[in-house]
């Protein structure tokens, strides 16, 4: 009985050891990733030309290795670096790259670099970005970099798209903060301030001109109104004077006479004309 128990215990331990050291295992390759199978032994050792799709993959861990690459969009924020323009001005560049891996070229990427994607980003891809900025900046003067920013970045995008795609990396987007040297920045600030001051002066001059035209128009209108009134009054006075005949004056005097003769030192009864009130 004891011997059977010992044999059973030994068999159980052997099974546990076999299970622990057996080489067969599996890898779950999630959606948005691509796995590649690497043969560690044999005449065909190296990266297979077969791309393993997503899902559960069984393999012999003693002879095979599975490396997983993400194929969804990656965003890498690089440390700033300095590039020089053709007139020796130094610009600080702080780039951020969005890209994704071409799934069909994952085996080629691993064969070429034999490194994880994070290391490839900080070595090959960073150097590619730096070279693109260096080459393009060397064809621009310092002031044209800022005044032709869109053209500057379009050329960088063209170079990156070409150089990254040939190694299996698909360019999506590049954003960069380009900081000019302090002296150029001061010149730009002064130029902008001058432009703003000129625009403000032009606006003030236009406003003053408009206000002056309003005043002239108002004064002209008032003068014309006064002239019209003066002409009207002059015409009315002329008509009144023309209508004051001796007979009309006599009638007006009779209408307003109260029947009393004025008293004078010469005595009463004098036929004097009284003023019309």
Q: Read off the pLDDT of residues 59-79 as tens digits, 9 standing for 90 and up.
A: 787 888 888 889 999 999 999
Q: What is the mean pLDDT of residues 127-131?
A: 95
The full DSSP string for 25-45 is EEEEE-TTEEEEEEE-SSTT-
Q: What b/e string do you get for 190-228 counting C-beta neighbours within 10 Å, with b at 16 or more?
A: eeeeeeeeeeeeeeeeeeeeeeeeeeeeeeeeeeeeeee
CA 59 to chain centre: 51
Query: Above 50 in pLDDT, residue 133?
Result: yes
Structure confidence at residue 161 (pLDDT): 94
Nearest C-alpha neighbor of 125 from the set 89, 92, 153, 96:
96
Task: Return phi, psi of residue 213, to 5°.
Answer: -65, -35
pLDDT: which is higher, 74 or 24: 74
Structural domain spans, the chain: 10-70, 74-180, 182-226
74-180 architecture in CATH? 2-Layer Sandwich (3.30)
Cα(20)–Cα(141) distance, rounded to whole angstroms? Answer: 66
User: pLDDT band at residue 58, thresholds of 50, 70 and 90?
Assistant: confident
Query: Above 50 in pLDDT, residue 277?
Result: no
3-state secondary structure of 63: coil
Give the number of residues written for the chain: 277
User: pLDDT band at residue 153, thresholds of 50, 70 and 90?
Assistant: very high
Any bridge partners for residue 51, and if so which?
A: 36
Q: What is the percent of the chain where pLDDT is above 90?
A: 27
Structure confidence at residue 185 (pLDDT): 67
């Amino acid at each position: 009985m004891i011997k059977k128990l010992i044999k059973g215990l030994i068999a159980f331990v052997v099974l546990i050891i076999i299970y622990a050291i057996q080489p067969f295992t599996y890898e779950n390759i999630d959606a948005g990733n691509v796995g590649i199978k690497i043969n560690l032994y044999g005449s065909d050792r190296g990266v297979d030309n077969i791309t393993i799709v997503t899902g559960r993959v069984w393999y012999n861990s003693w002879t095979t290795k599975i490396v997983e690459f993400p194929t969804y969009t990656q965003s890498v924020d690089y440390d700033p670096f300095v590039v020089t323009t053709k007139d020796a001005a130094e610009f600080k560049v702080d780039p951020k790259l969005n890209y994704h891996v071409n799934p069909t070229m994952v085996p080629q990427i691993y064969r070429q670099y034999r490194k994880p994607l994070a290391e490839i980003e900080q070595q090959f891809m960073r150097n590619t970005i730096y070279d693109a900025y260096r080459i393009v900046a060397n064809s621009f003067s310092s002031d044209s970099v800022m005044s032709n920013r869109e053209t500057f970045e379009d050329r960088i995008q063209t170079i990156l798209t070409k150089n990254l795609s040939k190694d299996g990396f698909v360019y999506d987007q590049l954003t960069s903060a380009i900081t000019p040297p302090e002296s150029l920045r001061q010149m730009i600030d002064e130029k902008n301030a001058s432009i703003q001051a000129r625009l403000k002066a032009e606006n003030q001059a236009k406003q003053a001109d408009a206000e002056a035209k309003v005043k002239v128009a108002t004064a002209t209108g008032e003068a014309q109104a006064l002239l019209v009134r003066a002409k009207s009054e002059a015409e009315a006075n002329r008509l009144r004077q023309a209508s004051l005949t001796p007979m009309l004056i006599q009638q007006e005097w009779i209408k307003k006479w109260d029947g009393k003769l004025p008293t004078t030192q010469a005595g009463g009864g004098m036929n004097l004309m009284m003023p019309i009130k």
